[in-house]
Structure 1
Amino acid sequence: MLNFPPLYSTARCDAIARLVENNYPIEAPVSCQMLERGLNDVYRITGQNAERYIFRLSQHRARGPADVRSETAFLTHLARSGVPVAAPIETRDGRFFVETDAPEGPRPGVLFQALDGREPDAADLDDARAHGKTLAMLHNAAESFSAEEARYRLELDYLLWQPLARIGQSGLVEDPDVFKEFERLAEETSNAIKAFGELTWTYCHGDCHGFNARIDAAGEAVFFDFDDSGPGYLAYDLSVFLWANVSFGRSSTRRWSAFIEAYRAIRPIKADDFEAALHFVIVRHFWLMGEYASRADEWGRNTVRWVAREAEFLKAWQASQLSGRLL
């Protein structure tokens, strides 16, 4: 028995290579390199004939186990529907994920075809348009996908109230007045969203912030990183792109306009969904703060202490965009 059970272990590259060789129809030997570690561990896999793959080993999160079953089912549906995505690779026994035994508990892994193309350019309006087009195609295809088995629903309890609770539990916000401000902002945002009534529900990418894609030779945005996907508000899925262009000191509303223009060329947006997306920027920021706050013991408090300072951004967004309507 371990004297100090780990919160998070890191698998060796040679172990991941053996895992892939043992489970996938890829000619051995394969080589493996770690690309990044954090919310998930991501590895580059290269087969004997130089074919390239990406293996993602999911981490435990405060929300619970990764919903790889629904994620891979959705990705397979999208690929068959002609939506440009990084589809999962089947194992030899016809599954789309494997289970590993890590010291901290089971961790599922998924193998994806590696994508060609370049990383999106934050200053390129055509790249923003490409994202809007692919997200619209995704939402069109989602209309024929059954989400009955999805583990998580991207609704206000999951996106707003649970993250707020994690912020409180982390102890990162030491000033009680600041936490009261977080509570006020969450309450007012929740009430504003509920006031819209029946907002459009769809299956969301969940993390379409403009960089979970590759731009291929045809200029299309090919999406990956669906581990935050699930059934939820369409307005939230739109808002993530806006949030990524206005948070943490950024102010690129031209990219948002280009994104929406391209989305609307494929799929209309109801007025209430568009208006609600502005409120969901606050929800998205709470979601991210909750994710980081829940990792305080794992990553260290110095890494996540920025969470306590974010009330100013949220108040400024509420005042300028929701009251003054600068957009």
Structure 2
Amino acid sequence: MLDFNPLYSTPQAEAVEGFINQHYPLVAPVSCRLLQRGLNDVYLAVGGDSERYVFRLSHQRARGPADVKTETAFLTHLRQSGVPVAEPILTRDGALFLRGYAPEGAREGVLFRAIDGRKPQGMGAGDALANGKTLALMHNAAETFSPDGALYRLDLEHLLFRPLARIRDGGVVEDADIRNDLEHIAARTAEAIEAFSSLTWTYCHGDCHGFNSRINDAGEAVFFDFDDGGPGYLAYDLSVFLWAQVSFGRSSTAMWDAFIHGYRAVRPITPEDFEAALRFVIVRHFWLMGEYASRAQEWGSEAVGWIAREADFLKTWETERFVDRLF
């Protein structure tokens, strides 16, 4: 019999139900259904008392294993600090995460209490402002958190240079001129960021684009999806929201203004961090392209073909924002 040696498998909902029933003190019986698959597998779990939970099974990624230990420790710290975030649920043994085994290897699982509230509605100004406030509260709380043993640092090596290498070496951009453009854009961006003298370092959410939140009855943005987080540049954490407003043909900088207004209502932003956030839009786009490039064998070349078209967006952002500072 041929062993196909799978890159990625999707556990059946029934298997996840059994896993949760075995390891978590929920009211039985627990029922599950798959919500989404891709960067992670996410399941809705409903206990016998109708309480709702979300079970996230981490994906095998090019960066390495999921840093669920630091992530769940940070979430616990945020909850204790009064920051509205998803709450990880303890196992029967008092652990915040578990490892299960799939054909491709070990995968880390975390169970969260489902967040009450609505999805952000097209990212209106009120929801953008709420996201800015929660991010600022998170950064305030991060000042008293020690990410000892964190597996990843959200520095330029992690966010820019390794993703660039995945694009370059993965064969997803065949045109040599486009590859050269990407190399030059990355080099100029890194040089500009490294020229800043005092960028703030914090613990980052890492994926605060606005839709990794729910808006509760109090109007607060409750954050989830911290699995791309880690110690890193505060300017990068800000930039992800701006990037989400201007990438892939979008143009809603009014939402960026509302987001920044909400952030500044809680916490100041230094001029250097604010200026650097504009540069980090490019870094964020490289990070995303690198994530997709690393999945080419799993998702197929058609699913990552868009990467070869993104040099135009990056060059346009450079030209419009930094034309007098490019060289």
Q: Give TM-score scaled by structure 1 length.
A: 0.98
Structure 2 partner of 1:322: 322
| TM-aligned CA deviation for residue 184 of structure 1 | 0.2
Aligned to 1:307: 307
**Matches for 1:119-158 after TM superposition, within 5 Å:** 119-158=119-158
CA contact (8 A) 1:245 1:253 kept: yes
What is the aligned partner in structure 2 of residue 208 from structure 1? Answer: 208
Q: In structure 1, what is the Cα distance between the partners aligned to 2:16 and 2:2? A: 22
Amino acid corresponding to residue 203 of structure 1 in structure 2: Y
Shift of the alpha carbon at 1:27?
Answer: 1.9
Aligned residue pair count: 325
What 5-or-longer segments of structure 2 have no aligned partner?
none
Question: Which position in structure 1 is the counterpart of 2:282?
Answer: 282
**Residue matched to 1:258:** 258
- Give the CA deviation at 1:122: 2.4
The 8 Å contact of residues 123 and 210 in structure 2, kept in 1 or not, is answered as no
Q: How does 1:67-82 map to 2 (within 5 A)?
A: 67-82=67-82
Q: Which residue of 2 aligns with 1:245?
A: 245
Q: CA separation in 2, counterparts of 1:36 and 1:185?
A: 34
Structure 1 segments (4+ residues) deviating >2 Å: 322-325
Q: State the alpha-carbon separation in 2 of the partners of residues 165 and 124 from structure 1.
A: 36
Partner of residue 17, structure 1? 17
1:208-247 paired onto structure 2 within 5 Å: 208-247=208-247
1:90 paired with 2:90, answer yes
| Post-superposition offset of 1:34 | 0.3
Between the aligned partners of 2:137 and 2:227, the Cα distance in structure 1 is 19
User: 2-side partners of 1:164 and 1:251: how far apart?
Assistant: 25
Aligned to 1:160: 160
- Residue 34 of structure 1 aligns with an amino acid whose one-letter code is L
Say whether the 8 Å CA contact 2:154–2:232 is kept in structure 1. yes
The answer as to whether partners of 2:213 and 2:222 remain within 8 angstroms in 1 is yes
The secondary structure found in structure 1 opposite 2:265 is helix
State the Cα deviation string for residues 225-262 of structure 1 (Å, max 9, x = none): 00001000000000000000000000100000010011
Q: CA deviation at 1:147?
A: 1.1
Measure, in 1, the Cα distance between the counterparts of 2:159 and 2:197: 18
The answer as to whether partners of 1:34 and 1:43 remain within 8 angstroms in 2 is yes
The residue type equivalent to 2:102 in the other structure is: A
- State the distance in 2 between where 1:324 and 1:15 align: 57
How far residue 322 of structure 1 moved from its aligned partner, in angstroms, is 2.2
Query: What CA RMSD, in Å, does the superposition of the two structures yield over aligned residues?
Result: 1.1
Query: Normalising by structure 2, what TM-score?
Result: 0.98
1:105 and 2:105 aligned: yes
Deviation at 1:123, TM superposition (A): 4.4
SS across alignment from 1:292: helix
- Residue by residue over 1:139-196, the C-alpha shift from the partner in whole angstroms, topping out at 9 and shown as x without a partner, is 0000000012110000000000000000011111111111000000000000000000
Could you tell me how far 1:3 is from its partner in structure 2?
1.1
The whole-number CA distance in structure 2 between the counterparts of 1:261 and 1:187 is 31
Aligned-pair CA distance for 1:2: 6.3
**Partner amino acid for 2:161?**
W
Query: Are the aligned partners of 1:278 and 1:322 in contact in 2 as well (CA < 8 Å)?
Result: no
User: Does the C-alpha gap of structure 1 residues 123 and 151 become closer, same or farther in structure 2, counting only changes over 3 Å?
Assistant: closer
Gaps of 5+ in 1: none
